Amino acid sequence: MENADLLFREIFENSKVGMAVLGKRGQILHCNPHFTEMLGYPEKEIKERALGTYLHHDFREEFNKKFQKIISGEEKYNKSQLKYVKNGGNSAWWLVNLALVFSRDFGKRFISAIIEDITEQIEEREKLKAEKENAEKSTRIKSDFLANMSHEIRTPIHTIMGMNDLLLETKLDEEQQEYAEQVRFSAEVLLSLINDILDFSKIEAGKLHLETIDFDLLSVVEESVDLVSLKAHKKGLEVALYLEPNIPVLLRGDPVRLRQIIVNLFNNAVKFTREGEVVVTVRLHEETDEHVILKFFVRDTGLGIPQDRVDKLFKAFSQVDASTTRKFGGTGLGLSISRNLTKMMNGQIGVESEYGKGSTFWFTVRLKKQDREGGIVAVPEEAAKAKVLVVDDNNTARSVLRKYLEECKCLVSEAENGHQALSMLREAADKGLAYDICFIDLLMPRMDGWQLASEINADKQINSTKLVLLSPAGKSGDEAKMKLLHWFDAYLNKPLKKRELFDCLKKLSLSESELEMVEETAPLEEIEEVEEETFKDQAILIAEDHEVNQQLFKTILESLGCTVRVANNGLEAVQAVEREHFSLIFMDVQMPELNGYEASIKIREMGIRTPIIAATASAVKGERERCLEAGMNDILVKPFKKKDVLPLLKKWIAPQQPSLALTGSNSGMVSQAPSSAEASHYIFDYKEAIETFMGNEEVVRNVLKAFLKKAEEQIPLMHQALSSKDFEKLRGEAHSMKGGAFNLSVNKLGEQSKWLEETARAKNEEESSRALEDLKAAFEEFRSMALKHIETL
């Protein structure tokens, strides 16, 4: 025992941490030399003084609580970080460990205190914390600066693009056209670079947040591919898109950022592929009751990537080599941004590549399922066992279409050129097993789609087969519009869209009435030139403080027949709507005096319901929600062009219907109503309908009967869908009515159906209810006119 006592004394005396024995009042009974050294007092001055007296006054209460828990037996051990005061007044930090000790020799309880000076660690931690806060502050300042600068840079770029777009609509010679196209291309590249830098800055600052909203996967993927497919087709590349069966499409997540990843990878594939194809595939990787993990593939036949350079691809500002940057351009941020976005979506990203043969980029994302049925794209049962021939010189395009058709249980054959197709069609007809449908690619060597269709239509043995034209976007031209009505039963853009293909199959498989034939031609809407309806005498208010943007708005709107008023700030805008009535207001959100949000709130408080369109280039999260909360109806994102403005006018103003006088004291202008002839043609243009059906008036009357019958059935279904808040059903019925109405030149009903489709897509119950009432009124107007023509039979 004596040896053990000596050993413990040696440890106590020579330890490099402070040790002390405390009494029940916290007084120091014994302490080691290192403890006295820490305090800077001699041992005789320390003994019998309470340990708490050496602590900074801010920490004494905390120590006393800890001490009482030990002395009362509530705790056997505890520790705390405490600031103490040395001899001379300097403060430092202790880590104090207290424990209850019972001495058998003295029959008493003591408190052992093991005290470590942690001043250096605390100071280092505080230093790191301060450096971290300074770095974060610097990053925030940089991010805010870039966000503000991007807004300032976007404004002149938007103006350049808008004015150049108007220039391209004028008569230019070949050289001028080339210069203007180059200006547009350069402006789009510059805008893309600015967006990449802004996104990267937000990711660095931790300010990029993902939304969680309902979306349709099929629409997001198809829209993403559409954004780049025209560019691919101009390079002569084949583009294919395939979504495997049984993938839930009604999901929750951030569709904007998902689209950004797809576009980044698809755009890179197109950029680095000189010839061949780019294929986008979506697979179901994993599925639970609440979530799905999807895996996306973007395969190209491009340059490929050397294995020793694959690792640097996903690093910021990195490309395969310097020559890549010089030749193809870009910041090298796209893949880095995509990597961060997939990580935020609980996914991964990678690449498999063989130099000189092409690459396959892939990524996964984890998404929630929506809490409603109908998540799988419905297969058209009507198409089961239909005999279908696919004619396309591209093996991948044939393979994708075959997979979709076999998903519909069609009996599929393939031909890789027109001559082979004719042989197969004639051979099948000879055996009494004629093909029901033939899908024909427009662009094929030796015999293109037009020539093949001409041969089929001229051969009575096989011309009963229904023909569907497959054409790359932008490749059909005026020739397609002329020949489509004569030779083809339907038209589909490439790359094929799954839902459009299935709808097409369903319609081609039905034969009950000519109505289905009308609806079959609905795809024609996609290739018709957009007719720019004049909005004569429609008064539009532009609230915009930037003079160049004011001029751009005026140029676009006046070319469409609008009467334009300009307010230089929000206050002037509020004063303007007090004086006169406007059909529509374009409201810049950032203006002096009174910003767009505040101005909109004041306008709504005045009881004025004129549609307000927010004009904004802001990249801030929640911008749309903020605009809608302020009472605005829609958003126009800068930079914009004439093609972006026109749909908003069509959506919120009835075309060719001048503004009527506003009742009440605020109305300062009176406009004339359209003539009765113009109004009746807008409701239903019978002559135009006859021209559409190649002058066959009897067919038009029969189709009118069928359309009236179906519309009378659809309107109650729309009411039921609205009552049950089944907006997808409501949108589908409105979309169906819209196609039939426009094909029959029932223009007003078509526009009202289109408005209802938009409000249903936005899941806006109040606007949908109003739109449905307007649709019913438009239908009754059309019905009374249609019956007059039907009764003349």
d(CA 494, CA 270): 15
What number does CATH give the domain 676-791? 1.20.120.160
Residue written as token pair 């899941």: 763
Do the beta carbons of residue 304 and residue 272 sit within 8 Å? Answer: no
Question: Phi, psi at residue 657, to the nearest 5°?
Answer: -125, 100
Do the beta carbons of residue 192 and residue 675 sit within 8 Å? Answer: no
Distance of CA 386 to the CA centre of its chain: 37
591-594's contacts with Cβ under 8 Å and 24+ in sequence apart are: 591/543, 591/544, 591/545, 592/545, 593/569, 594/569, 594/570
- 240-255 confidence digits (pLDDT tens): 999 999 899 999 999 9
Would you call 558 helix, strand, or coil by DSSP? Answer: helix
Do the beta carbons of residue 761 and residue 696 sit within 8 Å? Answer: no
- 610-646 confidence digits (pLDDT tens): 999 998 865 455 677 788 888 898 888 776 777 788 8
* 539-652, CATH topology level: Rossmann fold (3.40.50)
- Give the contacts of 282 (CB within 8 A, at least 6 positions apart): 217, 221, 242, 243, 244, 247, 294, 295, 296, 297
- Give the contacts of 766 (CB within 8 A, at least 6 positions apart): none
Do the beta carbons of residue 46 and residue 39 sit within 8 Å? Answer: yes
pLDDT score at 658: 37
Q: According to the CATH classification, is domain 213-369 in 3.30.565.10? A: yes
What number does CATH give the domain 381-527? 3.40.50.2300
pLDDT score at 495: 92
Do the beta carbons of residue 77 and residue 65 sit within 8 Å? Answer: no
Domain formed by 2-117, architecture: 2-Layer Sandwich (3.30)
What number does CATH give the domain 132-204? 1.10.287.130
Q: With 0.75 as the threshold, say if the pTM is over it.
A: no
Residue written as token pair 């609580």: 65
List, for the chain, all residue ranges whose pLDDT scores fall below the cut of 70: 1-4, 104-107, 143-144, 146-152, 189, 204-205, 316-332, 373-375, 473-486, 510-534, 547-548, 617-622, 639, 654-682, 691-696, 699, 739, 743, 791-793
Residue written as token pair 């239908």: 779
Tell me whether domains 2-117 and 539-652 share a fold: no
In the 8-state DSSP scheme, what is residue 276?
S
| In the chain, where the domains are located | 2-117, 132-204, 213-369, 381-527, 539-652, 676-791
Q: Which residues sit opposite 567 in a β-bridge?
A: 543
Half-sphere exposure of 138 (CA within 13 A, CB side): 6
**CA-based angle 630:634:635, to the nearest 5?**
95
769-773's contacts with Cβ under 8 Å and 24+ in sequence apart are: 769/722, 772/718, 772/719, 772/722
**Three-state secondary structure of 592-646:** CCCCHHHHHHHHHHCCCCCCEEEEECCCCCCHHHHHHHCCCCEEEECCCCHHHHH
Do the beta carbons of residue 690 and residue 568 sit within 8 Å? Answer: no
